[in-house]
Amino acid sequence: MATATKIHLSPATDSGIYSFNVREDTARTVSELLQEDLEIHHVFFNNERFHNHIPHELLTIYALGASPEEVKTCYDRNKRYQRPALPANQDIVQSMHDVAKFKECSGKEENYPHYLAFFQQEIDAKGVPDVLNEYLFAEDERAESMMCRVFAGLIHPFIQLGFGIEFNQPAIVAQGLAQIAVHDDWLGRAYFLPAEKMAGGIGKPGQKSLFQLINEIRADKTLVESVQWSDSNKIKDGVLHRAPEQMLKYASQFTVSKDQVHGRLADMTNTVEAIAEFISSVYYTSAAQRPTKEMWLDFFLIHCVNSSIFFSKIIELPFMTQRSKLRMLEWKGRIELLMYTSRGTPDLLLDEVANYSPKDNWSQLFARSIAHPDDDGHLAKLVRALAHGQKVCQVYERTHPEMRIKGNMWLSVGNIAVDSTVEEGGRPMWVRSTGFDEAWESQRAHI
């Protein structure tokens, strides 16, 4: 049985929101390797706070039908550069029951092992539902501090938490909560909370889709010019430094009422894809494309897509209040608007996606992404999220003609994602910040 300190996957109950030919022997192998990762690896693999993606990759390729041998190959490739885990100080762990001490320790990388042990103990004592409601959704001072950190670090804390929730693994939920606790809260304080206040609170009926808001952002010169290629942090030093009020104006207009939950999920999934595909030469496929360049996908934008899959599970969780679900959906939509703006508001060329001829079906794309020699999980996560996105959105295609990605275009985007990441002469797998000319300098022109 899976516990806060023990990874245990069963294909019958823990195959995820979207899966394809999951195997019992692979479940055993992934359980063993993720247990090892939990015990011997740190959350960050370097001093620049780059995240350990091993849980993301192994759970994803397990869900896509990988064999035990393929899982071991991916694990061995990515464990080589991980930092070792650090021991937890039980005095500090116990002190975290004090709200003031809990907050004092937050935002500090060195406290990750203490938070991990703390949340493991809390989950073992209370269960995942009660711990999430207490430490993330309670809307008291401590929970608000945690919420302000959920989408920090390029959405990675939320992604880690999402995998734990999706695959019913309390130990990975504990990792996710510990990740949240050691990230900064400035994004929540500067963006999410002010946008929520400007919106008039949580759960107001939404009048505009993400697609509409993206178009308005692209037409707003102040926002378009708020980010510069030289900005080291294009959110903090760009958008929220030069045009915070303008960004908040649009972010506050993305709201979700209780009657819009399922439709907004499809809207969010579809629009994010449209951003990423249309935005980056190849990603969400080629929509943010440069007509004179080969297609390429934006590394930052794919995180918006990769994290969308978890909401199909989140909106059905019986222990979450409707208010908490609406809030998470609203914050997710707002991070997507911010991510798009911070990447230079790239042009979205939908025809580049629509005219792309897919050569592989989903099962072939799954196999290619699993076998990719350099992927650390980003590609596999993207392909699975796209396949799931098609499943979520297809029911809305007739009633929502404004959807930009529909029908066979989902498969086209998946093919773009895999085709564009084929290793060629050391070329990077992804383009970064595709709205800027400089991002494309290493990309060759169409022949």
pLDDT digits (tens, 9 = 90+) for 194-224: 999 999 999 998 888 888 898 899 999 999 9
8 Å CB contact between 218 and 185 = no
Q: Same structural domain for residues 385 and 355?
A: yes
Q: Same structural domain for residues 83 and 18?
A: yes
Could you tell me which residues come within 8 angstroms of residue 127 by beta carbon, excluding any fewer than 6 positions away?
none
Q: Is residue 317 one of the residues assigned to a domain?
A: yes
Q: Mean pLDDT across the stretch 122-136?
A: 98
* Model pLDDT for residues 28-47, shown as the tens digit of each residue: 999 999 999 999 999 999 88
Q: Mean pLDDT across the stretch 333-343?
A: 92
Q: Same structural domain for residues 340 and 244?
A: yes
Residue 68 has pLDDT above 70, yes or no: yes
Residue-range definition of the domain harbouring residue 137: 1-183
* Model pLDDT for residues 367-393, shown as the tens digit of each residue: 999 999 999 999 999 999 999 888 887
Spell out the long-range contacts of 77-83 with Cβ–Cβ below 8 A and sequence spacing 24 or more: 77/373, 78/53, 78/54, 78/376, 78/377, 79/37, 79/41, 79/54, 81/45, 81/46, 82/37, 82/41, 82/42, 82/45, 82/52, 82/54, 83/41, 83/42, 83/44, 83/45, 83/46
Residue 282 has pLDDT above 50, yes or no: no
Q: Same structural domain for residues 224 and 167?
A: no
Q: Same structural domain for residues 252 and 385?
A: yes
Q: Is residue 119 one of the residues assigned to a domain?
A: yes
Structure confidence at residue 253 (pLDDT): 96
- Chosen domain end from 159, 183, 207: 183
pLDDT top residue among 269 and 157: 157
Q: Is residue 447 one of the residues assigned to a domain?
A: no
- Chosen domain end from 183, 203, 226: 183
Q: Same structural domain for residues 152 and 195?
A: no
- Whole-angstrom CA distances from 262 to 101, 274, 312 are 39, 18, 9
Mean confidence (pLDDT) of the chain: 90
Confidence of residue 276 (pLDDT cuts 50, 70, 90): very low
Structure confidence at residue 86 (pLDDT): 95
- Chosen domain end from 167, 183, 199: 183
Q: Mean pLDDT across the stretch 243-265?
A: 87
In terms of average pLDDT, the best of 280-294, 359-373, 411-425 is: 359-373
Q: Same structural domain for residues 268 and 324?
A: yes
8 Å CB contact between 329 and 210 = no
Number of domains in the chain: 2
Q: Same structural domain for residues 28 and 137?
A: yes
Spell out a b/e string for 144-182, using b for 16 or more CB atoms within 10 Å of the CB, else e: ebbbbbbbbbbbbbbbbbbbbbbbbbbbbbbbbbbbbbb
* Model pLDDT for residues 165-174, shown as the tens digit of each residue: 999 999 999 9
